Amino acid sequence: MIHNERYGLKTFLSGVRDGFPIGAGYFAVSFSLGIVAKLSGVTGIQGFFASLFTMASAGEYAGFMVIRESAGLLQMMLVTLVASARYFLMSCALTQRLDPKMPFRHRLFIAYGLTDEIFGVQIARPGYVEPVYSYGLFVLPALLWSSGTLLGIVMGNLLPASVVSALSAAIYGMFLAIIVPPSRKNPVILCCVAASFGLSFLFSRLPALSGISSGTRTLILSVLIAGLAALLFPVKEEAADAF
């Protein structure tokens, strides 16, 4: 028993070590997200728990923008669901690396901590994904992500309006960092990104469509563009098996 406890602690601390650089990056990004949350009227406590329970940059950003427009809960749920849909694919891939006998409670908590970077670390480890290692891996990223959001909201309340407005643009740098590398490698993704820019601009300018809120616009364009791309350019079976 003592040996197992020590092994469990060692595995947990190994996860904490691997999760620290992820958490440090999350802290910097979530500060900018906190500025956006502040502009949407979200309090520090609300922003902290929103980040703690969600842990999804694009999903949270979309949710805060919906709050800013005073939209309903249904629209917020749909927008957040679409913006975070990639986690369905990651979860399906990760289930292949879980012990078939793993209890449901461990699967549930591992799913809570699933993000792009954490998924990358987990999938790269040999053998089955260990629950204790996963808990250590996402404990710091979860705390630093939510703390960064809180700090961004607090600082947004203290800084001048002009500085807050400038800092709110930093969140777009994060999205550019996400879409530029895959767009350079895959022309289909590049076309999807270009189409989203162009159609979003048209939606905001055409008289018949300009009245649609940005949250609904994001929802419509995400489903439309992603659906057409999947229909016209499906991923080849060989590539999917390699992943």
pLDDT band for position 91 (cuts 50, 70, 90): confident
Burial grade of 35 (CB within 10 A; 0-12, 13-18, 19 or more)? buried
pLDDT band for position 67 (cuts 50, 70, 90): confident
pLDDT score of 20: 92
Supply angle C-alpha 7, 11, 16, rounded to 5. 145
Domain residue extents for the chain: 2-170, 186-243
H-run or E-run covering 225: helix 214-232
Query: For residue 13, is pLDDT > 60?
Result: yes
pLDDT score of 166: 65
Q: Which one is predicted more confidently, 164 or 70?
A: 70
Q: Tell me the average pLDDT across 207-215.
A: 68
Query: For residue 17, is pLDDT > 90?
Result: yes
What pLDDT, in 10s, does the model give residues 110-158?
A: 999 998 889 888 888 888 899 999 999 999 999 999 999 999 999 888 8
Residue with tokens 């092994």: 7
DSSP 89-142: HHHHHHHTTS-TT--HHHHHHHHHT--HHHHHHHHHSSSSPPHHHHHHHHHHHH
Using DSSP, state whether 50 is helix, strand or coil.
helix
Q: Residue 62: which of 209, 191, 217, 189 has the closest Cα?
A: 217
